[in-house]
């Protein structure tokens, strides 16, 4: 109903009678399956068999959010609470979802199979252990669910309900399992989301999921510790990867990690200054490479760095103890670099835009009106912007007005 990038190459020819009958059969099969699940749920049959039925339906239609909710209820009102020795898991027939999906899983974690079979084999010997019930059966179920989801997520990486369901499962693990075991599950997710982001380095579900996973891996209640250094490294790796410089998602993530990274490093003022210099160096050398002065992702990251100088907010920035003079000096230095950059890139609108913006910002910082030569230069740059980027002429009109009345 909201299709993206699906070309329709030819007129739809009328269906043949055979095709019509086939589609009718598929509809009947699908709706029968829906009805069967509804009946079983109305009878409160919270069993592995019904879980299997929902698997079948969700493979046909992963967007069917109500069925994901049915699955949640099956787990929390039925399957999770089964005592370990009598777990529906070990009494179920060999083709339960666990066996199925473990085989089918493309092996994001080869260790999971071993762990879960260990748990199953030890469980009968230890039927009375309450701890085992807590970590054993429930852990097996959660792992099986995660494995079941993986191939569907690879196929439908933009389906909200899948990501939600996955997060929900892991939150259940937090509630129901030992913190150490729950944290191991979250750690594996970090590997999984890394794979998803290799497949599509801009998937915002993936980046959002990564954020959540990291905060769980780091959480004290699971006995975790900060991984801000390795996360920062990860963004460096992404930026240097294929098409990485235009990966705004990675630049964005980097911008969010930096304040915490420096805090945790207990970075001195000198170290912070050096850090800022290095980041400017990184982005500017990136702009000199290939066609990057024309790519907006790099310019937005440049905006982030400049914002730390121009829109001073105190804490939570790279250089909290920079004086006004320090900041003004840095902005002036950047204005020189930007002018140099124009050489050979006279048709790059981003440079003119930055020159005007930061010239005006410098005046605001120094609480003065622009000098007449600054004003004149801004007008020249603005004329270039109008020429290079006529689509945004309304923006340039407003900018001109702002230049006249600073």
Partner 1 sequence: MSLVSGPGRAGGNALPEELQLAIEPHVKYIQSLDTRKDELEYWLTEHLRLNGLYWGLNALHLLNRPDALHRKETIDFVLSCQADNGGFGAAPGHDAHLLYTASAVQILAMVDGFGELEKRGKAGGAMAVGKYIAALQNRKTGTFAGDEWGEEDTRFICCAFVGLSLLKLLQFVDVEKAVDYIISCANFDGGYGVAPGAESHSGQIFACCAALTIARRLDTVEKDKLGMWLSERQVEGGGLNGRPEKLEDVCYSWWVSSSLSMIGRLHWIDGGKLSRFILNCQDTEHGGLADRPGDMVDVFHTNFGLAGLALLEFDGLEEVDAAYCMPKKVIERVLGPGYYNDS
Tell how far CA 98 is from the center of its chain: 28
7 binds partner 1 (CB under 8 A): yes
Residue 406: Cβ within 10 Å count: 13
Residue 297 CB, shortest distance to partner 1, in Å, is: 5
User: 396: which 2 tokens?
Assistant: 């340039």
Burial class (CB in 10 A: 0-12, 13-18, 19+), 221: exposed
Applying CB under 8 A, which of residues 134, 295, 365, 388 lies at the interface with partner 1?
295
In the complex, the smallest distance separating the C-beta of residue 111 from partner 1, rounded to whole angstroms, is 29
At its nearest, how many Å lie between partner 1 and the CB of residue 206? Answer: 11
Q: Closest CB to partner 1 among 132 and 254? A: 254
Q: Collapse the DSSP code of 266 into the 3-class scheme (helix H, G, I; strand E, B; otherwise coil) and give the result.
A: coil
Among 30, 280, 294, 312, binds partner 1 (CB under 8 A): 30
What residues contact 334, with CB distance under 8 A and at least 6 apart? 280, 306, 358
Alpha-carbon distances of 44 from 14, 37, 70, 71, 387, rounded to whole Å: 44, 10, 11, 12, 69
- The residue among 210, 213, 189, 294 whose CA lies nearest residue 253 is 210
Alpha-helical (H) ranges within 366-392 are 372-388
Among 52, 92, 134, 168, binds partner 1 (CB under 8 A): 168
Closest contact distance (angstroms) between CB of 328 and partner 1 is: 20
Pairwise CA distance, residues 251 & 277, whole Å: 16
Binding of residue 69 to partner 1 (CB under 8 A): yes
Stretch that binds partner 1, among 106-114, 122-130, 159-167, 338-346 (CB under 8 A): 159-167
User: Does the footprint of partner 1 cover residue 232 (CB under 8 A)?
Assistant: no
Pick the binder of partner 1 from 26, 111, 126, 131 (CB under 8 A).
Answer: 26
Residue with token string 């409160």: 44
Single out the segment in contact with partner 1 by CB under 8 A; choices: 27-35, 136-144, 228-236, 332-340: 27-35
Q: Is residue 94 a contact point for partner 1 (CB under 8 A)? A: no
How many alpha carbons fall within 13 Å on the CB side of residue 227? Answer: 20
Q: Which is nearer to partner 1, 102 or 317 (CB)?
A: 317
Q: Which is nearer to partner 1, 123 or 216 (CB)?
A: 216
Site string for partner 1, 182-221 (x = CB under 8 A): --------------------x-x--xx--x----------
Residue 312 lies near partner 1 (rule: CB under 8 A): no
Give the whole-angstrom CA distance, residue 122 versus residue 115. 11
**101 binds partner 1 per the rule CB under 8 A:** no
- Binding of partner 1 at residue 61 (CB under 8 A)? yes
Rule CB under 8 A: choose which of 120, 164, 174, 219 binds partner 1.
164
CA distances from 55 to 38, 39, 173 (A): 14, 16, 20
Q: Site for partner 1 (CB under 8 A): how many residues?
A: 58
Q: How far is the CB of 3 from partner 1 (least distance, A)?
A: 5
Closest distance to partner 1 from the beta carbon of 83 (Å): 26
Cβ proximity to partner 1: between 265 and 395 the closer is: 395
Question: How does DSSP classify residue 244?
Answer: G
DSSP assignment, residue 124?
A: G
* Nearest one of 354, 361, 406, 405 to 382, comparing CA atoms: 354
List CB contacts of 272: < 8 A, sequence separation 6 or more: 262, 318, 319, 320, 321
> What residue ranges bind partner 1 (CB under 8 A)?
1-8, 11-12, 20, 23-24, 26-27, 30-31, 38, 60-61, 63-66, 69, 72, 160, 164, 167-168, 202, 204, 207-208, 211, 246-249, 252-253, 255-256, 295-297, 300, 303-304, 307, 390-395, 397-398
């Amino acid at each position: 109903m909201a299709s993206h990038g699906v070309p329709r190459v030819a007129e739809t020819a009328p269906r043949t009678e055979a095709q019509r009958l086939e589609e009718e059969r598929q509809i009947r099969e699908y709706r029968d399956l829906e009805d069967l699940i509804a009946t079983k749920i109305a009878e409160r049959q919270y069993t592995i068999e019904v879980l299997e039925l929902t698997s079948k339906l969700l493979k046909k239609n992963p967007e069917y959010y109500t069925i994901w909710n049915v699955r949640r209820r099956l787990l929390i009102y039925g399957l999770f609470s089964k005592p370990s020795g009598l777990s529906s898991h070990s009494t179920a027939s060999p083709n339960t979802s666990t066996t199925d999906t473990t085989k089918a899983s493309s092996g994001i974690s080869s260790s999971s199979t071993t762990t879960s079979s260990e748990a199953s084999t030890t469980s009968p010997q230890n039927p009375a252990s309450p701890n085992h019930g807590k970590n054993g059966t429930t852990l097996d179920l959660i792992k099986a669910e995660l494995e079941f989801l993986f191939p569907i997520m690879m196929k439908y990486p933009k389906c909200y309900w899948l990501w939600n369901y996955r997060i929900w499962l892991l939150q259940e693990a937090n509630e129901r399992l030992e913190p150490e075991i729950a944290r191991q599950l979250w750690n594996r997710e970090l590997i999984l989301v890394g794979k998803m982001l290799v497949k599509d380095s801009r998937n915002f579900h993936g980046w959002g999921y990564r954020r959540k996973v990291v905060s769980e891996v780091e959480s004290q209640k699971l006995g975790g510790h900060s991984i801000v250094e390795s996360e920062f490294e990860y963004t460096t790796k992404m930026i240097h990867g294929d098409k990485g410089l235009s990966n705004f998602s990675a630049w964005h993530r980097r911008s969010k990690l930096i304040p915490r990274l420096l805090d945790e490093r207990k970075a001195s003022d000198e170290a912070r200054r050096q850090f800022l210099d290095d980041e400017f160096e990184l982005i500017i050398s990136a702009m000199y490479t290939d066609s990057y002065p024309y790519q907006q992702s790099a310019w937005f990251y440049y905006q982030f760095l400049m914002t730390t100088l121009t829109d001073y907010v105190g804490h939570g920035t790279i250089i909290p103890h920079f004086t006004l003079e320090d900041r003004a000096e840095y902005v002036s230095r950047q204005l020189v670099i930007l002018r140099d950059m124009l050489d050979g890139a006279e048709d790059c609108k981003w440079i003119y835009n930055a020159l005007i913006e930061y010239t005006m910002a410098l005046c605001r910082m120094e609480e003065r009106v622009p000098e007449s030569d600054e004003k004149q230069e801004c007008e020249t740059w603005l004329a270039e912007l109008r020429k290079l980027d006529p689509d945004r002429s309304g923006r340039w009109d407003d900018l001109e007005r702002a230049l006249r009345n600073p």
